[in-house]
Amino acid sequence: MMALWPLLHLTFLGFSITWPLVHGQGFQETAAVWPSLFNVSLPQKAQESIQIPNNGSVPLLVDVQVFVSNVFNVDILRYTMSSMLLLKLSWLDTRLAWNTSAHPRHAVTLPWDSLWTPRLTILEALWVDWRDQSPQVRVDQDGHVKLNLALTTETNCNFELLHFPRDHSNCSLSFYALSNTAMELEFQTHAVNEIVSVKREYVVYDLKTQVPPQQLVPCFQVKMSLKNTALKSIIALLVPAEALLLADVCGGLLPLRAIERIGYKVTLLLGYLVFHSSLVQALPSSSSCNPLLIYYFTILLLLLFLSTMETVLLAGLLARSSLGAKSSPSPAPRGEQQEHGNPGPHPEESPRGVKGSQRSWPETADRIFFLVYVVGVLCSQFIFAGIWMWAACKSGPAPGEAAPHGRRPRP
């Protein structure tokens, strides 16, 4: 109670005295005003109020309610995400309790730096924007302290992108109180999902909090489970790739003698190469558990390359055999010149001769390759679907997580 008296006197005497407390840099700057108002021992008592309450062998229990209002800017290429949170902290400090019969107020509002409050640090944060730089603390008559902190932060997240674009990932925000030890402070956490908008690529479908055991520094974690809606990626990636593969299969129906077939195949291959180069930039890369789509699109590129090379090779062999047939003399006309009595070939033998000349061995090989290619394409689709459903990959623990007692604070 004595520790709160200087704060209560400043509150009751009006803003003319509390103004240095609000705008000062620390509690020590305003303590110099109090001796003339009260007595010499009050600054020492007030100084004790900014120290963590001593509960003996039991650590101070701080109740934390985490309200997540928004998750945005999920960037799988940089492995980052942004989120907006509200932390409601409350704890009991019996030193700040007072008798309402002597002081009729039931609660007072004080600057946060005028008494002890947890100093929180987010381990995964790239930057943190505390919305209120000078938050107010509410102190009840029984010593209960309440503090609300609103923040926006961008943090790292180890996305599990094996099944991208139907991926599910768990992202953690670890809040550490580096100024205290686990023997002094303990957190009790609760989480509330207040996200009302679902019109986004990634949605939060689960929200949990936990207090990691055996930590040297008091901390608590907020775990958010993210799910990719995948509509944008399916339209932008899968549909064009499947359309190019289907067009390549249909191109095999063109006759090998048609000169348009080579141009058609080469155009498809060049178009897919351009698509594949932009695809590599759109898909994330990782040291482990790369997306299956990277391997799938690479297999499609190999199939298109194989189909184009088959067309070029067999068309070249067919052109060489045709040129060789035209340049070499045929023995049939010499025999016809010697047999003057034979007016020409037999009518029944002519169609068979024409039919045999229409199908050469490169064209036969092309038909066989087309059937094998169609079967291979269909099998590759079914095999990839099976791998997509049954494949699993879990990234190994980070070096800090593999430590026996979690992350150790730096000295």
Residue with tokens 């090998």: 256
Strand, helix or coil at 133? coil
Q: Which CATH number fits domain 51-228: 1.10.10.10, 3.40.640.10, 3.40.50.12140, 2.70.170.10?
A: 2.70.170.10
Cis, bond preceding 165 (omega within 30 deg of 0)? yes
Note the pLDDT tens digit of each residue in 138-159.
Answer: 999 999 999 999 999 999 998 9
Is the separation of the CB atoms in 157 and 171 below 8 Å? yes
- The backbone region for 143, taken as left when phi is positive above 0, alpha when psi lies in -120 to 50, beta otherwise, is left
Q: Take residue 307 and report the two structure tokens written for it.
A: 């189909």
- Residue spans of beta strands (DSSP E) within 113-267: 121-122, 125-130, 136-140, 144-156, 168-176, 185-193, 202-210, 219-228
pLDDT at 349: 45
Which amino acid, 202?
Y
> What's CA 175's distance to the chain center, in Å?
20
C-alpha 271/C-alpha 276 separation (Å) is 9
166-170, 323-327, 351-355, 390-394, range with the lowest pLDDT: 351-355
Cβ-based neighbours of 85, under 8 Å, separated by 6 or more: 66, 67, 68, 69, 150, 151, 152, 153, 173, 222
For residue 110, CA distances in Å to 36, 105, 134, 140 come to 21, 13, 10, 11
For residue 187, CA distances in Å to 7, 151, 286 come to 26, 19, 34
Cα torsion 48, 52, 55, 56 to 10°: value is -80
Residue with tokens 């509150």: 11
pLDDT at 399: 62
Strand, helix or coil at 320? helix
Listed by start position, the domains of the chain span: 51-228, 254-321+364-391
Q: What angle do CA 231, 232, 236 make, to 5 degrees?
A: 120
Strand, helix or coil at 187? strand
pLDDT at 54: 84
DSSP states along 11-62:
HHH-HHHHHHHHHSSSHHHHHTTSTTTS-TTHHHHHHHTTSPP--TTSPEEE
How is the beta sheet containing 219-228 ordered, strand by strand?
121-122, 168-176, 219-228, 202-210
* Interval 70-89 mean pLDDT: 94
* Interval 383-405 mean pLDDT: 75
Cβ-based neighbours of 120, under 8 Å, separated by 6 or more: 87, 149, 175, 176, 177
Note the pLDDT tens digit of each residue in 18-46.
Answer: 333 333 333 333 333 333 333 334 455 55
The yes-or-no verdict on residue 126 having pLDDT over 60 is yes
Note the pLDDT tens digit of each residue in 164-207.
Answer: 888 899 999 999 999 999 999 999 999 999 988 777 889 999 99
Is the separation of the CB atoms in 183 and 58 below 8 Å? no
2-16, 97-111, 369-383, range with the lowest pLDDT: 2-16
C-alpha 367/C-alpha 356 separation (Å) is 16
42 phi and psi, to 5 degrees? -65, -40
Residue with tokens 């000169």: 259
C-alpha 191/C-alpha 257 separation (Å) is 69
Is the separation of the CB atoms in 74 and 226 below 8 Å? yes
